[in-house]
Amino acid sequence: MDSSSSFDDPVIGPFSSDWPWASPLPGTCLVATRFDPARLDEPGAGDAPGERHGVILPPRLHDAIAKRRAEYVAGRLCARHALRLLDGRDATPSMNEDRSPCWPDNCVGAITHSDGWAAALVAHRQVYQGVGLDAERLLNEEQARRLARRVLTAEELVRMETLPSSSVGLMVSATFSLKESLFKALYPLVGRMFHFPAAELMTWQGIGPVRLRLLEDLGNGWTAGREVTGMVCLHENRLLSVVALPASGAGRA
């Protein structure tokens, strides 16, 4: 697929496979798009209720607000395009009972959406155990400080207080997003919920590559002290993070 492909829809598209981070993740495919929830229910806007371009809404979303339905459809269409780029397959992940995406057996992936933008990242399971992707609105300093005590560990809070005020929003936004990406990558492997205090950024040097360390034993070999790598970038006025767990080395550099 070209870096930007046309898609004749008043709500969703076009799709882009541009890679926004400074370093590539070999063996992955990323697809992103914009969407407009306000147009989802316009007369003549398209398919029958509950289905758009072959994406069938799960029953729990049939009565959801337009924003939630548009997020689901846009994310699944990104995933479908990404899987097609990955190996030519025509597949659209449905929703598991726990609301996570149901990926094909030999694939891993993650979906995210934020303020009318959606994206999906996919890879083969023999290359990555798991991948996580997250998009967030960049917080200002006041918003970041309000969120910090829920998201940051004690050590991360100390680190935040050493930063100039102009950097606080970026640091907290990135930490929040990276821990969301970490959860998306690890949850299918450990099969249990875990929260922000379960991991911390080892250092903070701004946009670019980062390392996170687990602070809790999550099960299935993911013990406290294990480290994983991630990346953050700014893209179209939002912060994007990605975490990838290689199949060999399992989270180690």
Same domain, 9 and 118: yes
CA angle in degrees (0–180, nearest 5) for 104-74-101: 30
For residue 52, the model assigns a pLDDT of 77
32 and 117, same domain (yes or no): yes
Which of 89, 106, 125 lies at the terminal end of a domain, its last residue?
Answer: 125
Instruction: State percent of the chain over pLDDT 70.
Output: 91
46 and 80 part of one domain? yes
Of the residues 61, 92, 125, which one is the last residue of a structural domain?
125
Tokens of 52: 């758009």
pLDDT at position 7? 60
34 and 114 fall within a common domain: yes
Q: What pLDDT digit, counting tens, does each position of 192-229 carry?
A: 999 999 999 999 999 999 999 999 999 999 999 999 99
Helix (H) / strand (E) element for 108: namely strand 107-114
The arithmetic mean of pLDDT across residues 94-102, rounded, is 95
CATH of residue 141's domain is 3.90.470.20
The average pLDDT across 96-115 equals: 96
Q: Is 38 within a domain?
A: yes
Residue 164 CA to residue 16 CA, distance in Å, equals: 35
Both 217 and 236 in a single domain?
yes
Are residues 27 and 83 located together in one domain of the fold? yes
**253: pLDDT confidence band, cut at 50, 70 and 90?**
very low
Task: Name the residue range of residue 207's domain.
Answer: 134-246
Q: Do the beta carbons of residue 228 and residue 253 sit within 8 Å?
A: no
pLDDT of residue 175: 98
The conformation of residue 247, written as its DSSP 8-state character, comes to: T
* CA 83 from centre of chain: 16
The whole model's pTM is what? 0.92
CATH of the domain at 101: 3.90.470
User: Are both 56 and 92 inside the same structural domain?
Assistant: yes
Task: Find, among 235, 238, 228, 114, the residue nearest to 169 by Cα.
Answer: 238
